[in-house]
Amino acid sequence: MTEPKKQLLMIDDDPDFVAGIKAILDGAGYDVDVAYNPKDGFAKLKSKRYDLLLLDIMMGRGAEGVMMARKIRKEPALKEIPILIMTGIREQVAFMFPGQAVHPRFVPLDELVEKPVEPELLLEKVGALLKASEAREKQ
């Protein structure tokens, strides 16, 4: 018996970038849903249970991904979801959270990768986050 496929949601406003990521994740056996803006993404998150969220930072008129992550953190039903943050500008993220490590903690489980991301690294991060999330649930 095979395990049910992990359900992933990717929120990013660049369809071509999404296609490049989705192909890798599809190929590795994940089910990937996509939203191209924070509003649709939030609606999708509330309508279905996802195992992991891939979130772009620089969307729309600035760092809408950061606002999205803050919104998720405030929702008790959502705040346990692991998030893989994807950003093109690492320093910019550090700039938004002065005094913190380059990698900000939005939710209990999150990781940050820079765009573009090598397939091996992407799959490693996704796998590790999912594993850590399962371990948390069992506690």
Partner 1 sequence: MDTAKVLIVDDEEIVLDSCTEILRGEPCELATASDGARGLALIPEFHPDLVVVDLKMPGLSGFEVLERIHQTDPTIVTIVITGYATVASAVEAMKRGAYDFLPKPFTPDEFRLIIRRGVEKRSLVLETIALRRERELLRDHFASIVSHELKAPLAAIQQNVFSLERELAAVATEDQRGRLGRVKTRVGDLLQLIETWRRGVSIDVEAIKAQCAPVSISVPIEKAVDSLSVHATRKEVELVANVPDPAPMVWGDQGTLTQVLVNIMGNAIKYSRVGDRVTVSAQARDGKVLVSVSDTGVGISPEDLPLIFNAFYSAQPGAAGERGSGLGLAVSRRIVEAHGGTIAVQSTPGKGSTFVVTLPERTDDGPGSPPRETGPQTATPKEGRR
* Residues making contact with partner 1 (CB under 8 A): 14, 16-17, 19-21, 23-24, 27, 58, 88-89, 92, 115-119
The smaller minimum CB distance to partner 1, of residues 21 and 66, is found at 21
To the nearest whole angstrom, how small is the minimum distance from the Cβ of residue 90 to partner 1? 9
- One-letter amino acid identity for 22? K
Q: How far is CA 25 from CA 6, 30, 121, 137, in A?
A: 10, 6, 12, 23
To the nearest whole angstrom, how small is the minimum distance from the Cβ of residue 21 to partner 1? 6
Q: Which helix (H) or strand (E) holds 35?
A: strand 31-35
Q: At what angle do helices 119-138 and 15-27 cross, to 10 degrees?
A: 70
To the nearest whole angstrom, how small is the minimum distance from the Cβ of residue 54 to partner 1? 12
The smaller minimum CB distance to partner 1, of residues 86 and 130, is found at 86
Residue at token pair 């609606």 = 43
Q: Using CA atoms, how far apart are residues 24 and 81, in angstroms rounded to an integer?
A: 21
Sequence-ordered list of residues with C-beta below 8 angstroms from that of 138, at least 6 positions apart, any chain: none
The smaller minimum CB distance to partner 1, of residues 23 and 135, is found at 23
To the nearest whole angstrom, how small is the minimum distance from the Cβ of residue 46 to partner 1? 28
The smaller minimum CB distance to partner 1, of residues 19 and 43, is found at 19
